[in-house]
Structure 1
Amino acid sequence: MNLDELDAALRREFTGAEAERRVVVRQAGDLADTEKAETDRGVPLTVDEIVDNLSDAPDEGVASRWNWWMGALEAAYGGYEPFQVRRIPKE
């Protein structure tokens, strides 16, 4: 997955500060590196897949949307809590 493309897509599609997007992109990259989402769901983790899933979340900032999706995956499969956004650095 191209993290620069993910960052651009998140900037284009959702609200949130740059620091918030950077944390989500980093968490997405870490998740992609584990291949856990692909193994659990049978679908590769791509920029389009992330944007589609975040679009289903309540209308909030990108980190809240990401955490909503990670919470859904945690409930369905377990093991996604480490990928949730816990803290956003100040810019």
Structure 2
Amino acid sequence: MDRDRLETRLVERFDAVPRAARVVARQATDLDDAGRYERDFDAPLTVEIVVANLADAPDEWDLVERWNWWLGALELSHGGYSQFGVRHGGV
């Protein structure tokens, strides 16, 4: 996972504030480092996968809401993802 590339793509694609993009990119990197996504989906977590899944969230949601929405779906389907969520007030 290229954290800097992800952060840049998040700002570009979702018009995210840099601080939110930095926090989400850090959490995505932690998720990748944990190996949880790769174990569950038999594929590495990539910048493209993160951006594509966040794009599926409602358009009016900000980046943190999109990230937490995707993690919520992963939590429901596989478990073990809630620890990678982002508190909205902390961004």
TM-score for both structures, normalised by structure 1:
0.91
Match of 2:55 in 1: 55
Secondary structure, aligned partner of 2:43: coil
Higher relative contact order (CA 8 A, sep 6+): 1
Q: Aligned Cα RMSD in Å?
A: 1.1
Runs of 4+ off more than 3 Å: none
CA contact (8 A) 1:38 1:45 kept: yes
Structure 1 letter corresponding to 2:40: D
Count of matched residue pairs: 89
Normalized per residue, which structure has more helix?
Answer: 2
Alpha-carbon offset, residue 88 of structure 1: 2.5
CA contact (8 A) 1:19 1:88 kept: no
- Specify every segment of 5 or more residues in structure 2 that has no aligned partner in the other structure, as ranges: none
Secondary structure, aligned partner of 1:9: helix
What are the equivalent positions in structure 2 for 1:38-77 lying under 5 Å apart?
Answer: 38-59=38-59, 60-77=61-78
Establish whether residue 88 from structure 1 lines up as the match of residue 90 from structure 2. Answer: yes
- Specify every segment of 5 or more residues in structure 1 that has no aligned partner in the other structure, as ranges: none
CA distance in 2, matches of 1:30, 1:23: 11
Alpha-carbon offset, residue 28 of structure 1: 0.4
CA distance in 1, matches of 2:53, 2:43: 12
Alpha-carbon offset, residue 41 of structure 1: 1.4
CA distance in 2, matches of 1:29, 1:58: 23
The sequence identity of aligned pairs, in percent, is 47
Alpha-carbon offset, residue 43 of structure 1: 2.2
